[in-house]
Structure 1
Amino acid sequence: MAEFVIKLADERGHVQEQVQSAASAEELRQRFAQAGYYVYSVKPRGLSTVRKKVKLETFLIFNQQFLTLIRAGLPILGSLEMLAKNQKNTAFAAQLQNVAARVRTGESISAAFEAQGGFPLIYTTTLLAGERSGNLEEVLGRYLAFQRVSLAFRKKLQASLIYPALLITLVFGLFIFLISFVVPRFAQLYDQIGTKLPSITLYLLALGNAAQKYVFYVLPALALIGYLLFRWSRTDSGAERIDSVRIRLPIFGKIWLKYQVALFARTLSTLLSGGLPLVPSLETAARSISSKRIAKAVFSSVTSVREGKSLARSLEGTRVFPELSTEMIEVGESTGALPQMLNSVAEFFEEDVQTALTASLSLIEPAILIVMGVVVVIILIALYLPIISLSQASGFQT
């Protein structure tokens, strides 16, 4: 008998974790499922799994092939083994082989994927819903549709940010080149001339000398600060603090909030369409989004939902979700079409995010070019002002 940590919810939606002994994880899962509990996960006690995340594109291709093979009538185990052999990504292939081995011993496919530790929570939860409802094909199809739309939207956002990021990189690169390479050459020239220099030129030459002296100290220090910030952002307090600052940003804060609301709505719609109860779906959707503030608001609304309050009123009470989203959710609840309305919420806010981001970037791009031009002009004026003064002085003498 081995010990397992089981996470489950009772019929009222109360989530708890227990340590139980059983012959296998699947045997323990079935025991509590037959007793009326909703089982989230079953993991061996004390086991630390290394999370190996797979690229989303690779994972989507696998699931599309997996769904095609299942629809063609192939058994789940045979499909997994076939796809594991043909997988070029060795780490992913090893994970699929482990999943197939677990399924061969009688473990459910959702538990087998969950044991790998690197797959999205929404995926393993969706598989579990498909197993419960006996309709794995339909659930997989919904998951693939969800990920395709999410991936396409994410690529649009990334493409919109490439040009501004390139401009900012060029601005910093040009500034560093002028300060560290061009300015010191002029400093040597003016030392030889020995003329009195304007204040703006003196400030610029001092900045260039300091950059040359301390560049090898500043760069490692910046790298260390960046690394420490990255590690801090991986902690709960750090992620929550960063998300709070990000939401308060002018213009982009609202865009980030709407993007996270759209992701939450689409995730919740997919889970509800797969047959999951509302409370487990809310908790899974909350864990699947990046915004800690929105996730915290969703978790706080779960208590109200358990007490019989509507989802719309529960989310409205958090004062985080936009008013339009809660109004649309309220309509979905009253008409009995909540999953469809959640999809509409996601589509509306995704389009709103795309429009707002395009408009903001159309203003930021010329602003970056103007700043770059002003910086270059100031540096050139500071460098050439003494030369112009000397030429004018020599002209007067002649």
Structure 2
Amino acid sequence: MTEYTVKLADERGRIQEQIHAAATAEELHSRFTQSGYLVYSVKARSAIGGSSKKKIKLDVFLVFNQQFLTLIKAGLPILGSLDLLARRQKDLGFRAQLEDVTVRVKTGQSLSEAFEAQGTMPVVYTTTLLAGERSGNLEEVLQRFLDFQRVSLTFRKKLKASLIYPAFLIVMVIGLFIFLITFVVPRFADLYNQLGTKLPTLTVWLLQLGQDMQHYGLFVAPVIAGLIWLLMRWTKTEAGNSFVDRVRIATPVLGGVWLKYQVGLFSRTLATLLTGGLPLVPSLETAAKSIESKQIAKAVYNSVETVREGKGLSVSLDETKVFPELAIEMIEVGESTGALPQMLNSVAEFFEEDVQASLAAIMSLIEPLILIGMGLVVVVVLIALYLPIFSLNGVGGS
């Protein structure tokens, strides 16, 4: 699929430019012409220096879906609701995508297909729409998706909030160290050069570090920034992402917390899809796509094959040797009682609460450690700088 910039006029004569994806420019031109638009030009974005579509912010996407659901419940047709919300959307990128969805629905595509064609929508969302279209109960499945995303968004905000203060402390430690090395240490170096006395090894090392920072700091900083940028790019590749995921899961304490977070996300996603009426196998495949951890997603994909063979979900997940034993036991109870979606929600709630409690405990230990580290840095620097002065006083006194 290639992205094109389309210049067109609607039925009211308003000229506008929109960004849409299509196999060919002719296909896009035909699509808009059949929908009653006057098409002036269709240009590939690469030819005009364009870029790929940006991912929609989750809060913006949630507001749209809440408004969309409200309009549908009020009796407004789907096409009219999409057209109204597209015109009122302030995010230009999202507005262009909604306009493309509207055009696709006008030309006969289903709602789930139109959103899936954008390439930026969550897989869970398009699958949920598909389940709603098949069951004829779009309003109910949309409401379930909104409930699911609200819980997920609240949980993510709590996680990020718990990391703000430790991150601030780490930045403070780094900033303080740079200030001491680049501003304070050079002044002591000038003083000791004038005195011409023999300096302790610790002081010599610190003064040399200060000089190196002054001379080479402007060259080292861009190199470090470049290495960090390359590392970030590498982690977005398949190999880099898999390596980071393996390290993250293998990390003591934090690896267990990450695993529980992913299991909670998987359980809530699967429960939402099953409640929407989607069969177990496609629900598992969709839930696997929503998991950030490659290792856990691979385990879920492996369990799909055993479920197809007729084994139960709990047995299939247990054979992967990845999921926690408690989650397996709860899922087994849900299967045996015929209340799997409800039990999966219970699994999600349990592990989400466990993750929050574990993070709170870890942060309560990390914050004092960071403060102690900050204090040690200051103490070591001060001792190194004032040690020669203490030595001079001792010599003078004797």
Q: Structure 1 length normalisation: TM-score?
A: 0.86
Measure the CA separation in 1 of the matches of 2:313 and 2:168. 43
Cα contact 1:329–1:341 (8 A) shared by 2: yes
Is 1:50–1:117's contact at 8 Å kept on the other side of the alignment? no
Q: Is the 8 A contact 1:271 1:281 kept in 2?
A: yes
Aligned to 1:113: 115
Answer whether contact 1:52 1:117 (CA < 8 A) is retained.
Answer: no
| Aligned residue number for residue 310 of structure 1 | 312
- Whole-Å separation in 2 of the counterparts to 1:210 and 1:221: 15
What is the DSSP-based 3-state SS (H/G/I as helix, E as strand, rest coil) of the residue aligned with 2:114?
Answer: helix
Count of aligned pairs between the two proteins: 354
Given the alignment, which residue of 87, 97, 117 partners 1:95?
A: 97
Give the Cα–Cα distance (whole angstroms) in 2 for the partners of residues 200 and 320 of structure 1. 49
Matches of residues 239-318 of structure 1 in structure 2 within 5 Å? 239-318=241-320
Cα pair 1:142 1:270 within 8 Å, conserved: yes
Give yes or no for contact 2:53–2:93 (8 Å, CA) kept in 1. Answer: no
Query: How big is the shift at 1:131?
Result: 0.5
Which sits farther off after the overlay, 341-350 or 91-100?
A: 91-100
**% same residue:** 68
Per the alignment, residue 139 of structure 2 pairs with 137
Question: Which of 197, 215, 237 is 1:195 aligned to?
Answer: 197
2:333 corresponds to which residue? Answer: 331
For 1:135-165, what per-residue CA distance to the aligned partner results, in whole angstroms no more than 9, with x for missing partners?
0000000000000000000111111111111
Match of residue 369, structure 1, among 368, 371, 381: 371
2:394 paired with 1:392: yes
The one-letter amino acid paired with 1:90 is L
Q: Look up the match of 1:151.
A: 153
Larger displacement relative to structure 2 (386-395 or 337-346): 386-395
* 2:86 alignment partner AA: A
Per the alignment, in what secondary structure is the counterpart of residue 388 of structure 2?
helix
Which residue does 1:69 correspond to in 2?
71
**Shift of residue 60 of structure 1?**
0.3
Hey, what's the Cα distance between the residues in 1 that align with 2:255 and 2:196? 52
Tell me how far 1:118 sits from its aligned partner. 0.8
Deviation at 1:50, TM superposition (A): 3.0
Q: Letter of the aligned partner of 1:238 in structure 2?
A: G
Q: Is the 8 A contact 2:186 2:207 kept in 1?
A: yes
- 1:13 corresponding residue in structure 2: none
* 1:161 aligned residue: 163
Alpha-carbon distance in 1 for matches of 2:304, 2:325: 18
What is the Cα deviation at residue 392 of structure 1?
2.9
CA distance, structure 2, for counterparts of residue 189 and residue 330 of structure 1: 74
Say which of 173, 186, 201 aligns to 2:188. Answer: 186
- Per the TM alignment, residue 52 of structure 1 is displaced from its structure 2 partner at its CA by 2.0
Cα distance in 1, alignment partners of residues 295 and 135 from structure 2 = 33
How far apart, in 2, do the equivalents of 1:101 and 1:186 lie?
A: 71
The question of whether the paired residues in 2 share the 8 Å contact of 1:84 and 1:93 is answered with yes
**Offset, 1:213:** 2.0
**2-structure distance, mates of 1:344, 1:292:** 24
